[in-house]
Amino acid sequence: MKFYSISNREKRVSLKEAILRSVVNVTDLYMPVSIPVMPDTFIKNLKGRALNEIASEITNAVFGDDIPPDIICRIINEAFTFEIPLKRLNDNLYVLELFHGPTLAFKDVGARFMAGLFEFITSEEDHEINVLAATSGDTGSAVASAFYNKSGIRVIILYPEGKVSLIQEKQLTTMGGNIISIAVDGTFDDCQRLVKLAFADRDLNKRLILTSANSINFARLFPQAFYYFHAYAQLEDDSGSLVFSVPSGNFGNLTAGLIAKRMGLPVSMFIASTNINRSVPDYLNNGVFEPKPTQHTITNAMDVGNPGNFPRILELYNYDIERLRSDLKGYWFNDLNTMKAMADLMDEYSYQADPHGAVAYLGLSEFMRNNDCTGIFLETAHPVKFADVVSRATGIDIAFPAAISGLMDLEGKTIKMGNSFKELKEYLFSSG
């Protein structure tokens, strides 16, 4: 599969280039030159099939020219060691639980597939690859866990000291091995600035191979298409027209859903459900795309004023807003709405949602008020990751899952640093 960048449609690049060159300071958003449509028989026979089988067939259709089938199988089997169950709440309402991975958020899906793909793609390099990432919490822990023990790859994660939750800090600092965590005396923006400076620094780039694992990397976005097919495979009753509601921030998850539809999955509508960072719902309503400064909410993984993947969606629809509107509706909600939705889900269905899943539920409910359909909302994080807010909303305390309670007893290891680039550069030079 060849790729092109939205900012340069003429130039074709290989899979390797599209994935390793996707660094933060470059505005290149890579898209596959064509999106294959899966055969009718594949869609007809999806019922009851396992996630890994579905994922392998889709990956073969897209990357079959780049990756041998046995390697595709291995990458997928190593990545998806957990379930992505679809649970039925009533006749035509379902929730797709994406949080059963090792760091309890849906970012595990993309990060684990990407790590396997990186390991394969860089296996011919005779130098170590350095994956450099800034995190405000969730992305970093998913990336750290996914890349642990991948050969030929060293991961360096910068996080703002004292500004990530205790669980996140444990997840970032207790991996060891090829995962190095740096606690920066500063904010998330400082971390991001340092990473960008490193990618732009000539001396460093002469000495080391630096790459990024950020959320606009196609290798992280693509595998998220698998679970839309897998959700369809798990439906108990597929007689109604199918609608997915996606809690959206940077819009990678939703882009993957629209790609699944383009590949032939019979979905009648997608809902972009956001918090008050509402530039996409506003665009769908009034036709003007106007990124805004980010506002902080209780659904902090969706606090994105300028969604990085949205240009990919515009590209997929050839900048034709009417065509996009026939596949996508957008709704936004404030924190009060979200708190009430968590309480409602508990009262009506005894279902404990996290705040992000609750926003997706709200968007779906809004749509289903006037439309007869089968609705699935995506639940992107385990509620324990937002235990304070969740128990404030429902009055119920959440028990820590076994995987996490062990983690809390481990001693973390981190390197402390100021927020000047000089310090980071010296460290990378001396350790690389």
Q: Which positions lie near ligand PLP, rule CB under 6 A?
A: 105, 107, 138, 215, 247-253, 301-302, 356, 380-381
Smallest distance, ligand PLP to C-beta of residue 432, A: 30
- The least distance separating ligand PLP from the CB of residue 158, rounded to whole angstroms, comes to 18
DSSP conformational letter for 369? T
Bridge partners, 180 (sequence order):
156
Contact (Cβ atoms closer than 8 angstroms) between residue 363 and residue 245: yes
Q: What is the CA radius of gyration of the chain?
A: 21
Instruction: Name the residue nearer to ligand PLP (CB basis): 309 or 365.
Output: 309
Q: Which is nearer to ligand PLP, 198 or 353 (CB)?
A: 353
Residue nearer to ligand PLP on the CB measure, 141 or 374: 141
Q: Which of 134, 145, 205 is nearest to 172 (CA)?
A: 145
> What is the smallest separation between the CB atom of 251 and ligand PLP, expressed in angstroms?
5
Question: What is the distance between the terminal CA atoms of the chain, rounded to a whole angstrom?
Answer: 33
Q: How far is the CB of 250 from ligand PLP (least distance, A)?
A: 3
Residues 152 and 211: beta-carbon distance below 8 Å: no
Tokens standing for residue 99? 């949080």
Query: Toward ligand PLP, which CB reaches closer, 178 or 380?
Result: 380
In the complex, minimum distance from the CB of residue 91 to ligand PLP, in angstroms, rounded to a whole number = 26
Whether the CB-CB separation of 229 and 58 falls below 8 Å is answered with yes
Could you tell me the smallest distance in angstroms from the CB atom of residue 215 to ligand PLP?
Answer: 6
Residue with smaller CB distance to ligand PLP, 134 or 381? 381
Q: How many CB atoms lie within 10 A of CB 426?
A: 12
Distances (CA, A) of 225 to 59, 61, 110, 221: 10, 13, 10, 8
CA distance 314 to 309: 9
Q: Which is nearer to ligand PLP, 138 or 169 (CB)?
A: 138
Rounded to whole angstroms, the Cα distance separating 292 from 279 reads 7
Closest alpha carbon to 328 in 247, 229, 258, 265: 258
Q: How far is the CB of 274 from ligand PLP (least distance, A)?
A: 9
- Minimum CB distance to ligand PLP, residue 42 (Å): 25
Nearest residue (CB) to ligand PLP, 122 versus 160 = 160
Q: How far apart are CA 375 and CA 352, in angstroms?
A: 18
Q: Which is nearer to ligand PLP, 46 or 302 (CB)?
A: 302
Answer whether 387's CB lies under 8 Å from 398's CB: yes
The CA distance from 202 to 425, in Å, is 11
